[in-house]
Amino acid sequence: MTVRLSMRGRALALAAALLVAPAAAADEAFKAHEFSLANGMQVVVIPDHRAPVVTHQVWFRTGSADDPRDAGGIAHFFEHLMFRGTPKYPDQQFDAVITRNGGQNNANTYYDRTVYYERIAKDRLGLMMELDADRMANLIIDDNTVPSERKVILEERNQRTDNNPDSLFWEQMMAALYLAHPYGIPVIGWRSEIEGLTTEEARAFYDAHYGPNNAILVVAGDVTVDEVKALAEQHYGPLPARTLVPRVRPQEPPPLAARRVAMKDPRAAVPTFARLYLAPSYTSAKDGEAYALQVMAYVLGGAGDTSRLGLALVKGSKTANSISAWYDGDGLDDRMVGVYGQPADGKSAAELEAAVDAELAKFLAEGPSEEELARAKSVLVANAIYARDSQEGMANYYGEGLTYGLTIADLDAWPDRIQAVTAEQVKAVAAKYLTPERSVTGTLEPAAAPAGGQP
Amino acid sequence: MSLFARSAAVLAAAFALAWPAAAIDIQTVKSPGGIEAWLVEEHGLPIISIEAAFDGGGRLDPEGKAGLAYLVSTLMNEGAGEYDSTAFMQKLQDKAISFGGSADADAFYLSLTSLSANKAEAFELMRLAVANPRFDQEAIDRMKAQIFAAQKEQDEDPGSIAGNTWSERAFPGHPYGRRLAGTADSLAAVTREDILDFMQSRLGRDQLKVVVVGDISAAELGPLLDTLFAAIPEKRAAADAAPVTMQNGGKLDIVDRDIPQSVVVFGAPGLKMTDPDYRAAQIMNYVMGGGGFASRMMKEVRVKRGLAYGIYTGLSGSRLTDTLTGNVGTDNARVKETIDIAKAEIVKMRAEGITDEELADAKAYLTGSYVLGFDSNAKIAGRLLGLYLAGFDKDYVNRRNAEIEAVTKEQVLAVSQRLLDPNAFYWVVVGRPQGLQ
């Protein structure tokens, strides 16, 4: 029951992909196969016969960006409630049934999707489907569970965010990047909102989003497509479709002004510099821009000290102690390109900012070299092959991509599209998106506690 | 629903038969020069992984130079032979090869993953890094600066403060009480000569364990082992540290920090993975605090009372000592209540052991989930290397579930009485806890 709040480390989340193969045979291993149930539930099967286990996931096309405006944090809060019980499996028996069968399970919520998953021996797949179908239709949501779960979530927020100045800083950065879009609100919610979440709001959220027609079933592992089809029809097939609430989110107005976040916290051990640029996601991008942004971010800062920013600022001028850049294209609406670094000892965040801007200006003028481009593609495309080693990682790649509105064809074509990116395209997206008015610049510095102390 | 209606014991027996005897085939490969490796061939993916470990690691760091092993590990991909740091890294990226070092308190690791198509370049770069690492001063200074910054961040992170304080005071004066990456002073004291000496005195082929998984045959691996590790001295020269037992049992220390949630770390002496009572201890730990939502502590602390996001205990083995440790984060106002609950569970387990149902549930989970740790090349390599280092033979993975199955309730009670002396636990609380002395 985790919530994914991390911005860093997500750069390569979508870099896991299959190499395209023409006309995959019905059960070809390491390939994604897809069909739908009559009630609208989408199903993806990824055979991998190396070990007698399966990963079973149910993805819902809803996340914190679908929270009602007066109930921030409800998507994540509700995810916790999904474990509390149904008439058939009351009192948190859900977990007990799974562990008694040798399985592991959890769930997590992000801006645009929520996923519930189990990993278990392959002959328990039907049981997992029975459990997940049951809680999709028959969850108990009452005042016996909501108040104690609210306390758990406040402790989760303490642990992840309020005890950690870096997390608090990222919340502030995101809030500054998004004026209107709910990506500016933390997935877990602001503390004041969590404290006010109610049983009624949880019930309304369930009714609005948790139907089979809003879900994607992903099964990876030692199974065939036919086996999954029969079990899915048996367990999920009888669930009626729900009338879904349309996903209407406020969109960002055209960005007009560079913004700054200057945060001081006595617990910040070293100064930090961060820069975010509003940029399209894989879903919202047009004309292949997302692939060019992915390559651009790798060239700039995907390889640490050996990337362009690292060579110039860490190894070269020694302005930075470390620096990285990433592209986060995971979402329905516009996401971001980010740069994150620590100034070298004796240098200030302001000096690092000036040095980063000088390097970015150079990059905007000249674009990537052929060598940089080839190196970035080599690593990104190979990552798609390495990703096949993880059954769970493959399930995540397809499940997440599909909830964001991409198709299996899009996801399969990822390495080819990365390979096709040209230096001109990288230069063009850099010029278009790395502009001051699309940016938030942040510094986090060690300093005296602000008035009012800790939250 | 037929599966759930069956008893857990029946399910567990089915698992023990089904896995992993037929599913995982570990070969022992011996090189012409006498280096041994465990090999799992997997030709379904065009990937090769080599995981090598030298027993020793941070516990061999010289007095006053803690952090040496860790620093050297960060330098293993920072240049070799004619290639300086940038050139070496770019060679790796050009062929999408992943290679680097790492270290913990008990071992120094080298890890290589390559696509089969690029294996010749991958093996050569690894050989070069082992035989002729450059250790340029530029790279040493850069890695030191990055480690310094990470240490400063750790010094402010409540979880790190709790863990580091606990280790420092549980093992005073022993390498296990030092921070793996050292302190600002100890790292500053490390010179390039120390690093060169490390390669000669802290590594030895007699301490080497190698696990290889992926698209490679035994015939190809044998000679390759000699090529990769030829430059390593035959025997490790440095003397080992002394065995040690945890100190400060029965004490509770508070480290004051202005944070909303206190972080608690606690621990007592444990037992070796190879101890005859270890399986019983695993079951005890699962029921008490290791089993997530299946554990008594999680039910009491999180599910019933909403005191914490999670509470966990675990057995952890080091070469020279073993511990049973736990952790929890909870609101400053409710730390005492949470600690009291955890202590009550320790006392209860020691007095009563576990029920038949808990025994069956624990066995069902521990045996049934074992296979989940072997479903990818990366996981197989990591698991096997850990077992190899701990001194197990390669057939252990096929015996392990049967050993769990054989544990009785009486054995669990006996090991609880051996380990769960409430006065053996040392507690560290970081935060502003209320009501604790």
Give the residue among A14, A121, A8, A53 at the shortest CA–CA distance from A387: A14
pLDDT at A145 over 90: no
Interface test with A, best of B11, B164, B295, B303 (most A CBs within 10 A): B303
Give the residue among B322, B304, B391, B291 at the shortest CA–CA distance from A98: B291
B103-156 tens-digit pLDDT: 999 999 999 999 999 999 999 999 999 999 999 999 999 999 999 999 999 999
Do residues B314 and B326 touch, judged by C-beta distance below 8 A? yes
pLDDT of residue B376: 93
Of B19, B263, B368, the CB nearest to A101: B368
* Residue A228 counted as domain residue: yes
pLDDT at B334 over 70: yes
Is the CA virtual torsion A367, A371, A377, A383 positive or negative? negative
pLDDT of residue B12: 33
Tell me the nearest-neighbour CA distance from B301 into chain A, angstroms: 10
CB distance A30–B45 less than 8 Å?
yes
DSSP 3-state assignment of A117? strand
pLDDT of residue A3: 39
Cα angle B383, B385, B389 (rounded to 5 degrees) comes to 120
End-to-end CA distance of chain A: 23
Domain C-terminal end among A195, A219, A235 = A235
CB distance A375–B94 less than 8 Å?
yes
CB distance B86–A311 less than 8 Å?
yes
pLDDT band for position A6 (cuts 50, 70, 90): very low
pLDDT at B295 over 80: yes
Could you tell me the CA-to-CA distances from A434 to A280, A307, A324, A341 in Å, in that order?
A: 12, 18, 15, 17
Mean pLDDT within B7-13 = 31
Residues A279 and A175 in one domain: no
Residues A326 and A373 in one domain: yes
DSSP 3-state assignment of A335? strand
Do residues A314 and A321 touch, judged by C-beta distance below 8 A? yes
Domain hosting A110: range is 32-235
Do residues A311 and A305 touch, judged by C-beta distance below 8 A? yes
Query: Is A235 touching B (CB cutoff 8 A)?
Result: no
CB distance A163–B158 less than 8 Å?
yes
Residues A82 and A177 in one domain: yes
Mean pLDDT within B295-312 = 94
Per CB-CB distance under 8 Å, the chain A contacts of B43 are: none
Cα angle A58, A64, A66 (rounded to 5 degrees) comes to 90
pLDDT of residue A412: 96
Instruction: Determine if the peptide bond prior to B20 is cis (ω within 30°).
Output: yes
pLDDT band for position A11 (cuts 50, 70, 90): very low
Count of structural domains within chain A: 2
Burial B230-258 (b: 16+ CB within 10 A, else e): ebbeeebebeebeebebebbeebebbebe
Residues A193 and A67 in one domain: yes
CB distance B260–A50 less than 8 Å?
no
CB distance A155–B261 less than 8 Å?
yes
CATH number of residue A230's parent domain: 3.30.830.10
Interface test with A, best of B10, B24, B261 (most A CBs within 10 A): B261
Please name each of the domains of chain B with its CATH number: 27-229 (3.30.830.10), 252-431 (3.30.830.10)
pLDDT at B15 over 60: no
Average pLDDT, chain B: 93
Per CB-CB distance under 8 Å, the chain B contacts of A389 are: 45, 47, 376-378
pLDDT of residue B2: 27
CB distance A96–B294 less than 8 Å?
yes
Query: Is B256 touching A (CB cutoff 8 A)?
Result: no
Tell me the nearest-neighbour CA distance from A20 into chain B, angstroms: 15
Residues A230 and A322 in one domain: no
pLDDT band for position A28 (cuts 50, 70, 90): confident
- Residues 430-449, chain A, touching B (beta carbon < 8 A): 449
pLDDT of residue B317: 87
Residues A169 and A126 in one domain: yes
* Residue A16 counted as domain residue: no
CB distance A123–B292 less than 8 Å?
no
Average pLDDT, chain A: 91
pLDDT of residue A23: 43
pLDDT band for position A449 (cuts 50, 70, 90): low
In B121-228, DSSP assigns E strands to 208-214
Query: Is B15 touching A (CB cutoff 8 A)?
Result: yes
pLDDT of residue B19: 43
Tell me the nearest-neighbour CA distance from B194 into chain A, angstroms: 23
Tokens of A245: 């609430």
B25-84 tens-digit pLDDT: 999 999 999 999 999 999 999 999 999 999 999 999 999 999 999 999 999 999 999 999
Tokens of A415: 């390495």
Query: Is B113 touching A (CB cutoff 8 A)?
Result: yes
* Residue A21 counted as domain residue: no
Residues A187 and A144 in one domain: yes
Residues A37 and A162 in one domain: yes
- Residues 366-385, chain B, touching A (beta carbon < 8 A): 367-372, 374-378
pLDDT band for position A367 (cuts 50, 70, 90): very high
pLDDT band for position B426 (cuts 50, 70, 90): very high
Q: Which residues of A are catalytic?
A: 79
Token look-up 């050993």 returns B403
If you ran DSSP here, which 8-state letter would residue A16 be given?
Answer: -
CB distance A321–B145 less than 8 Å?
yes
CB contacts < 8 A (A, B): 198
Give the Cα separation of B424 and B437 in Å (integer): 18
A190-237 tens-digit pLDDT: 999 999 999 999 999 999 999 999 999 999 999 999 999 999 999 999
* Residue A331 counted as domain residue: yes
Helix, strand, coil proportions of chain A in percent (round to 5)?
Answer: 45, 20, 35
Domain C-terminal end among A235, A270, A293 = A235
pLDDT of residue B16: 36
* Residue A9 counted as domain residue: no
pLDDT of residue A454: 42
Query: Is A126 touching B (CB cutoff 8 A)?
Result: yes
A342-362 tens-digit pLDDT: 999 999 999 999 999 999 999
pLDDT of residue A25: 62
Query: Is B312 touching A (CB cutoff 8 A)?
Result: no
* Residue A252 counted as domain residue: no
CB distance A100–B361 less than 8 Å?
yes
Residues A231 and A347 in one domain: no
CB distance A102–B365 less than 8 Å?
yes
Per CB-CB distance under 8 Å, the chain B contacts of A50 are: 42, 44, 375-376
Domain C-terminal end among A187, A219, A235 = A235
pLDDT of residue A91: 87
Element (H, E) at B51: strand B47-55
B199-215 tens-digit pLDDT: 999 999 999 999 999 99
pLDDT of residue B9: 29
Give the Cα separation of B161 and B174 in Å (integer): 18
Mean pLDDT within B328-347 = 96
Mean pLDDT within A112-119 = 97
Tell me the nearest-neighbour CA distance from A299 into chain B, angstroms: 12
B244-278 tens-digit pLDDT: 999 999 999 999 999 999 999 999 999 999 899 99
Residues A390 and A439 in one domain: yes
pLDDT of residue A383: 94
Cα angle B429, B433, B437 (rounded to 5 degrees) comes to 80
Give the Cα separation of A63 and A65 in Å (integer): 5
pLDDT of residue A12: 32
Mean pLDDT within A437-453 = 79
Give the Cα separation of B74 and A29 in Å (integer): 37
How many other C-beta atoms are found inside a 10 Å radius of the C-beta of residue A73?
Answer: 28
Do residues A309 and A337 touch, judged by C-beta distance below 8 A? no
Mean pLDDT within B364-386 = 94
Residues A374 and A321 in one domain: yes
* Residue A150 counted as domain residue: yes
- List the beta bridge partners of residue B53: B109, B209
Tell me the nearest-neighbour CA distance from A333 into chain B, angstroms: 31
Q: Which long-range contacts (CB under 8 A, 24 or more apart) does B220-224 make?
A: B221/B29, B221/B31, B221/B37, B221/B39, B222/B29, B222/B30, B222/B31, B222/B32, B223/B31, B223/B32, B224/B31, B224/B123
B173-188 tens-digit pLDDT: 999 999 999 999 999 9
Give the Cα separation of B372 and B354 in Å (integer): 26
* Residue A325 counted as domain residue: yes
- The answer for B276, left when phi > 0, alpha when psi is -120 to 50, beta otherwise, is alpha
Residues A265 and A193 in one domain: no
> In this prediction, what percent of chain A has a pLDDT beyond 90?
87
